Amino acid sequence: MMGFGIVMPVIPFFTERLARATGFSGKNIPLHVGLLTAIYPLMQFLFAPLWGRQSDRVGRKRMLLIGIAGSAAAQILFGVSTSLWLLYGARAFGGIFSAATLPAASAQVADMTSVAGRARGMAWLRTAVGLGSIAGLALGGVTARKDLHLNWSAGHFLVDGFSIPFFLAALLMLFALGIAALWLANSSSSHPAPDGDEEKPDRGWIAHRAIRFALGLTAGGQFALAVFEGTFALYAQKRLGYGPVQVGVVFMVCGLVMSIFQYLAVRFLSQLLQPLHQIVIGFMLMGVGQLILPFVQPPLVLLAVGVIGFGMALVSPNLAAQISRLAGNRQGQSLGWQSAAESTGQVAGPLVGSLLFSLYARLPYLLAGAFLVGVGASAAFTKSAKVRGARNADG
């Protein structure tokens, strides 16, 4: 997730510089920002189920090592790119290999936890993912320097002030690679399938209604979050006068809130509220945060973003735990599908958001907020309908 986060504060400024250097029109910069943001999760969408299924066969550790090594190489390539086409290639390469990491890590957690402790384990994992995003946002926002007198070129590659955060990210990834290679234990699934599903073939797993419902909510939540993530740097640059550092701070606040409350909310609220109730509240909070975002000025921008992050903290670990619980002995495959669902939203969000932003700067947040409130209401209605149906059946 550091690879995804590190680009967010920098990408509008990096893209603008390369676009102007290679003769692209400045009017197309929002489109390229959206496409560069989207191509990373698009590759995750295509490859996460494949990597996840492979982790069920060969173990989680090997997939994690492959994913980390490939992601480090992608960061280096991104940092030395001198054209938009090289940026696209580096982002696609990074998305392919990052797709091996999260499904394998999620499956490793599922292998090591009981069904009762699954939500807590997933919350810890999502907290780690959030911290990775925060580290990426910090590196991207603070270390990308326009004023640094660093300029070294070789053929189609260039090292300058914008290269520093990507090189630092690659170095940290290589450090993590060494730790994982030396100390991470391998695992494979040992969980039984849900009741009545022991003989269900793999093709039938995705037909499970509850699985489809959870995957749909996953895609919807990530779509709306990606609308915010994919357009806020443009919005902040145009409407708030922010630079990379200020944009990085805002993203860090969002990631920090998500990281802290993913664990705290699941640990304490799980004693008071059922997972679906937490998910509904989370969607509602995300919607409110997006709706108020375009109408506030600093420092209230941080409050709106914090509400978005807190809502996602309720949604993400509970959905991951629900999908894992229903997966049985197909942990890698199921969590690969969840990663693909997240990537679906992350692909569509920046593209739709950048298109809406080109029409009216506030429009992405207004529509995304309304969409989130609608999804939350729909999930609540579905839960109520199930309860009424169960009561009628008992009666």
DSSP 143-174: H--SS---EEEETTEEEEGGGHHHHHHHHHHH
C-alpha angle 289-377-274 in degrees, rounded to nearest 5: 90
Distance (Å, whole) CA 124 – CA 321: 11
Angle at 128 between CA 343 and CA 63, to 5 degrees: 60
- Degrees, nearest 5: CA angle 125-223-4: 50
Pick the more confident residue, 120 or 306: 306
pLDDT surpassing 50 at residue 170: yes
| pLDDT per position as a tens digit, 309-325 | 999 989 988 887 787 77
What tens digit of pLDDT does each residue of 224-268 get? 998 998 899 889 988 998 887 788 788 888 888 888 887 776 677
What pLDDT does 336 receive? 73
Q: What average pLDDT score do residues 210-237 get?
A: 89
Q: What is the DSSP letter of 83?
A: S
Strand ranges in 18-165 using DSSP code E only, listed in sequence order = 151-154, 157-160
How far apart (Å, rounded) are the C-alpha atoms in residues 138 and 253?
Answer: 10
CA distance 270 to 279: 11
Q: Which fold has domain 2-185+204-394?
A: Growth Hormone; Chain: A; (1.20.1250)
Q: Residues 138-145: what's their mean pLDDT?
A: 69
pLDDT at 116 over 80: no
What are the boundaries of each domain within the chain? 2-185+204-394
pTM exceeds 0.85: no
C-alpha 307, offset from chain centre: 17
Q: Name the DSSP letter for residue 22.
A: T
User: How high is the pLDDT of residue 23?
Assistant: 66
Residue 194 pLDDT > 60: no
Query: In the predicted model, is pLDDT for residue 281 greater than 90?
Result: yes
Bridge partners of 159?
A: 152
- The 10s digit of each residue's pLDDT in 8-19 is 677 777 777 777
Contact in structure between 248 and 165 (CB atoms under 8 Å): no
For residue 192, pLDDT over 70 is answered with no
What lies within 8 Å, CB to CB, of 392 at 6+ separation is: none
Cross-strand pairs, 81: 157
